[in-house]
Amino acid sequence: MPSEKTLQGKRILIFVGDIYEDLELWYPHLRLQEAGAETVLAGLDAGVTYSGKHTYPAKSDVAINDVDPNTFDGVVCPGGFMPDKLRREEQVKQLIRHFHEKGQLVAAICHGGWLLSSAGICRGTRQTGSPGIKDDLVHAGVSWEDAEVVVDKHLVTSRNPGDLPAFCRAMIDVLEKQTT
């Protein structure tokens, strides 16, 4: 694996909350760091340890309400049951809309697509996600594709943990091309 730090200087926000999908948070978190990016875990409260679906712990670095999106280059929305709770938070939706409007990375895997749908950024986009939320995404205006990863400009989406290698490669590619 190359040790090139192509994402040096990039800061990526990753949402965390109880019952997140362990692999869908940790694999991108570590892979983005490996590529040189700084990753910041944002939960409803700062300094809280959240438990994943498979009980792996993740401690939030910052509270979602304290995030200044202007200090980040994109956002990652892991799946699990967490997105169903976080999509009810107005600040989560505002953050996602901010990154989308700026043309910065907005990445969602599995049920993470619920966050994009609730943020109102889906109409006219191509996406994939968990088959369990396909109808929700289609009703939100997504042109659905059953693929391991779908990249639509700055939007990167995948279906499940098995798609994580392609998901991470696509995120890194989008970030490398993104101007700050």
Q: State the Cα–Cα distance between residues 108 and 172, nearest whole angstrom.
A: 14
* In-domain check, residue 78: yes
User: How many angstroms separate the Cα of 32 from the Cα of each of 3, 75, 123, 127?
Assistant: 12, 11, 28, 21
* In-domain check, residue 5: no
* In-domain check, residue 85: yes
Q: State the Cα–Cα distance between residues 132 and 26, nearest whole angstrom.
A: 22
Q: What is the pLDDT of residue 179?
A: 72
How much is the pTM?
0.96
Q: Which two tokens stand for residue 133?
A: 């939320």
Q: State the Cα–Cα distance between residues 39 and 76, nearest whole angstrom.
A: 10
In total, how many domains does the chain have?
1
CATH number for the domain including 64?
Answer: 3.40.50.880
Domain residue limits at 24: 11-177
Residue closest to 163 by CA, chosen among 126, 114, 122, 128: 128
Q: What is the pLDDT of residue 111?
A: 98
Supply the DSSP string of 92-147, one letter for each residue. Answer: HHHHHHHHHHTT-EEEEEGGGHHHHHHHT--TT-EE---GGGHHHHHHTT-EE--S
144 close to 134: Cβ distance less than 8 angstroms: yes
* In-domain check, residue 6: no
* In-domain check, residue 40: yes
Q: What is the pLDDT of residue 86?
A: 98
* In-domain check, residue 63: yes
Q: State the Cα–Cα distance between residues 134 and 150, nearest whole angstrom.
A: 14
Placement of tokens 């798609």 in the chain: 163
Cite the active site residues. 111
Q: Is 87 helix (H, G, I), strand (E, B) or coil?
A: coil
* In-domain check, residue 75: yes
Q: pLDDT tens digits for the chain (180 residues)?
A: 456 899 999 999 999 999 999 999 999 999 999 999 999 999 999 999 999 999 999 999 999 999 999 999 999 999 999 999 999 999 999 999 999 999 999 999 999 999 999 999 999 999 999 999 999 999 999 999 999 999 999 999 999 999 999 999 999 999 999 975
* In-domain check, residue 112: yes
